[in-house]
Structure 1
C-alpha cells in the first residue's frame, strides 16, 4: 500500500510537470504568434503608407497651402522645410486676399506636379508678433521665401510684380512664381502662359487664366479695404 501510495505521488508529480511544460510551450507559441502578427501588421502598414504617399489626391492638393496659427508654428515651418514660402497677411485687407490667391494657386500647382519640393503657408500677423518683429514685416501683404531656414527674398505689397495696377491679374501669379524661382525657393516653373512656354496649340492656358481671374475677383468682393500699412 505504501508502495502504491508512493507511486501515486510520483505519477501526480509527473503529470504536474507535463502540465507545466505544456503551459510553457503554449506561452512560447503565443509570444511567437504575437511577434509574427505584429511584424506582419507593421509590414502591411508600411506598404499602405508607401502606396498612399505616391498618390496625389484632391485632398492632398487642398492641403498644399496651410494656415499657421502661432509664432511657434511659423518658426517651425520656416526651419523644418528645405524650401518654404510664408505669406504674412491680415484677413481684413483686400490686397492680402489678392496675394493669398496668387500664393494658393502656385502652391496647389507645385504640390500637384512638382513633387511637393516646396512648402507654402500663410500666417495672420496678429497671431505671430514675435516672427513679424524678427523679420521686420511692416507692410502687407508680405511674402518671404526661405531655403534651409535662411531668408532668400521678400515681396512687399506687390512691388516688382505689377506695374499697371491690375494686382489680380494672372500675370501677377506668373510674376510671383518667377520671383520665387529666382530666389531658388522654387526649382521649376509650372504655371502656364509664360512667354518661353507659350504655343498656339496650348488650349489650357485660356481656361487657366479665367480660373485665376475668377478666384481673385471672388476674394476681392468680400473685402474692398485697400489699406496695406498695418503697423
Structure 2
C-alpha cells in the first residue's frame, strides 16, 4: 500500500490523477491553490490524517495544474476535498462550511467528517476487515490444497462406501 502512496500526503499531476484514484480503494483529493491560507490549513490536517489512516490515499491537486479534472469535477471553490471510492467521486467538502467557517478547527473535526462519509475507517474496523481478508485467503488456500490432494490420490472407494443404505 505504501507503494501506492498510502501513509503519506503527496501532490498529484494531471497525467497521474486517473490512475491514482482508480488504483486505491478510497482516496481523498484536496484541490487547492498554494497561495490560499485555508488550503495550507487543510494541508496540515490532511498530512496528519494520512499518517493515521493507511487504508485511504491522501493527495493534493494544485487546481490550476489539473484544468481537465478541475472542470470535470466541477471544482469552483477552494479548498475542495473530493472523496473517491473505486475511482468514483462520492462526496465533497467545499471550503470550511462543515467546520463552522473557522480557520482554527481541530483535525478531529475533519476526521469525524471523513469517518461519517466513509472515506476513512476506524482503525479497529479496518484491521478487522484486513484480517478477514487474510482469513478468507487462508481458507481458499486450504480448500485448494485439499482438492489437489484428492486429485492426486484419486477417489477410491472405501469399505464405508460399500455400505449403502439404498441397496
Q: TM-score range by the shorter chain?
A: 0.5 to 0.7
1:126 is matched with 64
What whole-Å deviation, never above 9, does each CA across 1:113-143 have from its counterpart, x for those lacking one? xxx2111010101111000001000000001
Summarize the Cα distance change of 1:149–1:72 in structure 2 as closer, same or farther, 3 Å threshold.
same
CA distance in 2, matches of 1:80, 1:176: 24
Q: TM-score, normalised by structure 2?
A: 0.66
Q: TM-score, normalised by structure 1?
A: 0.49
CA distance in 2, matches of 1:79, 1:97: 26
* In the alignment, structure 1 residue 86 sits paired with structure 2 residue 29: yes
CA distance in 2, matches of 1:78, 1:161: 25
Give yes or no for contact 2:83–2:89 (8 Å, CA) kept in 1.
yes
* In the alignment, structure 1 residue 186 sits paired with structure 2 residue 130: no
2:105 is matched with 169
- What is the aligned residue count? 122
What whole-Å deviation, never above 9, does each CA across 1:37-78 have from its counterpart, x for those lacking one? xxxxxxxxxxxxxxxx8xx9xxx98x6111112x22122211
2:131 is matched with none
What root-mean-square deviation, in Å, do the aligned CA atoms of Structure 1 and Structure 2 show?
A: 2.2
Alignment of 1:20-169 (within 5 A): 64-69=8-13, 71-110=14-53, 116-162=54-100, 165=102, 167-169=103-105
Summarize the Cα distance change of 1:152–1:130 in structure 2 as closer, same or farther, 3 Å threshold.
same
Summarize the Cα distance change of 1:189–1:168 in structure 2 as closer, same or farther, 3 Å threshold.
farther
Structure with higher helix content: 1
Gaps of 5+ in 2: 125-167
Structure with higher strand content: 2
